[in-house]
């Protein structure tokens, strides 16, 4: 059919190149959809009620949770074309008290500068053109529960650990590689800086996994809390009552188990 194999090879290469170019072509509908959601976000990024309305009310992403003591975290996503914009809304008794917006950039290099312009400087930019999250009332995530009577820690790592961002699953290791759970990993990064006051503050974290890990630490170091034992034991029972079940991971299987039983288990092992 072809005069020679050389012409045949050239035609194959040409067809392949054209096909790849089509695959790499920008989808104008996706780009327009992304521009729309970016424009909506930057117009309302510091307006709680308006921003909340942008995200689908009926859909909650995995990781949404009741945190106990009247607090809940809802994770939502606003889908676009090449990107989606995620948000985490923190509520106290159904009143929105804080949120985190997590913007995205497209993977296509030719689109990055265009999208960056649309974001209009509302988000800090990293060297690789990824965008940092925007926090509205960040302290609402990090501050201890109202029942805490001591002085708040100023250590950034400890404050991060107290927030839901440090991971809401309590346990040790899990997954195919048996890696440390996110919350456990962050705890091990701060455990050498802990003193009695800080552990008690951690027991009052808004993050229930962090509360349980602090209770576990208390059981492993009883001599450290002799003078506070009675008061702490009363608080622990309140913690278990507020969140009787907690997310955990055993091997590759995730689910919920009784908080009290899990703490008793992990209080007897060294990780």
| Inter-residue long-range contacts of 138-144, CB under 8 Å, 24+ positions, other chains counted | 138/98, 139/98, 140/90, 140/97, 140/98, 141/90, 141/98, 141/100, 141/165, 141/206, 142/206, 143/206, 144/201, 144/204, 144/205, 144/206
pLDDT for position 1: 47
Residue 15 in any domain: the answer is no
Mean pLDDT for the stretch of residues 238-249: 97
pLDDT in tens, 125-152: 998 899 999 999 999 999 999 999 999 9
CA distances from 163 to 55, 71, 166, 169 (A): 22, 12, 6, 13
pLDDT in tens, 198-227: 999 999 999 999 999 999 999 999 999 999
Write out the residue range of the structural domain in which residue 94 sits.
25-137
Confidence at 2, pLDDT banded by 50, 70, 90: very low
pLDDT in tens, 153-189: 999 999 999 999 999 999 999 877 788 999 999 999 9
Picking from 137, 167, 193, the residue at the C-terminal end of a domain is 137
Residue 110 in any domain: the answer is yes
pLDDT in tens, 14-51: 444 444 444 457 899 999 999 999 999 999 999 999 99
Confidence at 246, pLDDT banded by 50, 70, 90: very high
Same domain, 161 and 228: yes
pLDDT for position 6: 57
Give the count of domains, the chain.
2
CB 169 within 8 A of CB 257: no
Residue 127 in any domain: the answer is yes
Residue 206 in any domain: the answer is yes
Chain mean pLDDT for the chain: 91
Residue 253 in any domain: the answer is yes
Same domain, 93 and 53: yes
Residue 224 in any domain: the answer is yes
Q: Which of 59-68, 103-112, 225-234 has the least mean pLDDT? A: 59-68
Residue 19 in any domain: the answer is no
């Amino acid at each position: 059919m072809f005069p020679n194999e050389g012409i045949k090879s050239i035609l194959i290469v040409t067809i392949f190149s054209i096909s790849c170019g089509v695959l790499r072509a920008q989808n104008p509908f996706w780009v327009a959809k992304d521009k729309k959601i970016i424009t909506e976000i930057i117009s309302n990024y510091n307006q709680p009620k308006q921003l909340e309305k942008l995200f689908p009310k009926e859909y909650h992403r995995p990781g949404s949770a009741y945190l106990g003591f009247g607090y809940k975290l809802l994770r939502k996503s606003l889908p676009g074309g090449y990107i989606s914009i995620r948000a985490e809304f923190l509520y106290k008794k159904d009143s929105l008290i804080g949120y985190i917006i997590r913007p995205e950039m497209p993977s296509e290099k030719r689109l990055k500068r265009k999208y960056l312009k649309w974001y209009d400087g509302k988000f800090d930019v990293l060297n690789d053109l990824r965008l940092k999250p925007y926090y509205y009332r960040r302290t609402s995530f990090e501050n201890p529960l109202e029942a805490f009577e001591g002085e708040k820690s100023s250590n950034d790592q400890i404050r991060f650990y107290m927030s839901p961002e440090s991971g809401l699953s309590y346990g040790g290791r899990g997954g195919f590689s048996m890696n440390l759970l996110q919350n456990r990993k962050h705890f091990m990064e701060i455990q050498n800086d802990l003193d009695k006051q800080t552990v008690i503050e951690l027991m009052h974290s808004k993050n229930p996994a962090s509360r349980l890990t602090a209770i576990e630490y208390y059981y492993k170091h009883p001599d450290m809390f002799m003078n506070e034992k009675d008061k702490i034991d009363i608080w622990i029972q309140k913690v278990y009552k507020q969140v009787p079940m907690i997310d955990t991971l055993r091997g590759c299987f995730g689910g919920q188990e009784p908080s009290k039983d899990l703490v008793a288990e992990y209080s007897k092992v060294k990780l």
